[in-house]
Amino acid sequence: MKLSRLFADGKFVVSGEVGPPKGADVREVIEGAEVMAPYVDVVNVTDNQSAVMRLGSLVVSHLLQREGIEPVFQLVCRDRNRIALQSDLLSAAALGIENVLVLTGDHMVLGDHPEAKPVFDLDSVQLLRAASGLNEGHDLEGHELEGKAAFCLGAVVNPGSDEIETQLIKMKKKIDAGAEFFQTQAVYEPEVFARFMERAEKLGAPVMVGIVPLKSAGMARYMTENVAGVRVPDEMIERMKKTPKEDRKKVSAEMSVDLVARTKKMCQGVHLMPLGWDDLVPEIVKGAGLRDS
């Protein structure tokens, strides 16, 4: 089920996200995806997120697919050269995976193997162009393939960036390279997102607003101080600070529902990133009126 078909049909698309385990035991990640599945159209599978070594996103995407859950295979530029990136994309195509999200990837100094050698042979625009070439039946060098891919390609954008013009320029480049939809960095300020969408909608590509439920005041402050383009309003931080630990999930869900309600008319979908709180996804989706049950 290609996301491009859903967008073309005018459907408001809902996606969830899971992170592969740091190990070979996949039970928890499969169970988390199964909790989300009735309430989302697709489930993203992160690729060594935050530069932390984990089980591969391609394997988990395939396992979800076997369970009847539509995956979005995330692929970052950080860890592979252009040969390996194209090979992994062809592997995904051979497995019948149709949706791919292309990202640059966090730098390895932020992860659990800080001395790993960086690759970044391609950037995200170049990787989109490579994947588009595979769709057309050739590799980056123009060599013909024995059977082409048929991906719906996605990319990311940061609507809260201080350099919004740069974000829009990159967005246009990604569209020209083959991106058919965008997922955003976490949004906590609907008014900032609205200003971004006033300009981004002119580019014509579907945008899915990114929502990350807050787990604590500490997490909110960390994101504000350390994640580029993300600012959690003081009132949200204060509310989490005053909330007893046992009530944080409930309050986090309420704030997430409010964010979805305030942004959903501006865009074409929502991307929920629960960071392990997979059971919040059904609550947020139902609370925001995105699904009846």
- Asked if 255 and 239 count as a contact pair (C-beta separation under 8 A), the reply is yes
What tens digit of pLDDT does each residue of 40-57 get?
Answer: 999 999 999 999 999 999
Helices and strands, counts by H and E, the chain: 11, 8
Residue 105 in this model has a pLDDT that exceeds 70: yes
| Mean pLDDT (whole number) for 131-144 | 98
Beta carbons within 8 Å of 113's beta carbon, 6+ residues apart: 51, 53
The 3-state secondary structure of 82-133 reads: HHHHHHHHHHHHHCCCCEEEEECCCCHHHCCCCCCCCCCCCCHHHHHHHHHH
What tens digit of pLDDT does each residue of 263-293 get?
Answer: 999 999 999 999 999 999 999 999 999 986 5
| Mean pLDDT (whole number) for 31-43 | 97
**Could you identify the residue written with the tokens 């013909």?**
144
Residue 162 in this model has a pLDDT that exceeds 80: yes
What tens digit of pLDDT does each residue of 186-245 get?
Answer: 999 999 999 999 999 999 999 999 999 999 999 999 999 999 899 999 999 999 999 999
- The whole-angstrom separation of Cα 113 and Cα 76 is 16
Which domains are seen in the chain, by residue range?
3-286 (3.20.20.220)
| Mean pLDDT (whole number) for 146-161 | 97
* pTM across the whole model: 0.96
8-state DSSP, 144: B
Confidence (pLDDT) at 110: 86
8-state DSSP, 81: -
Residue 246 in this model has a pLDDT that exceeds 60: yes
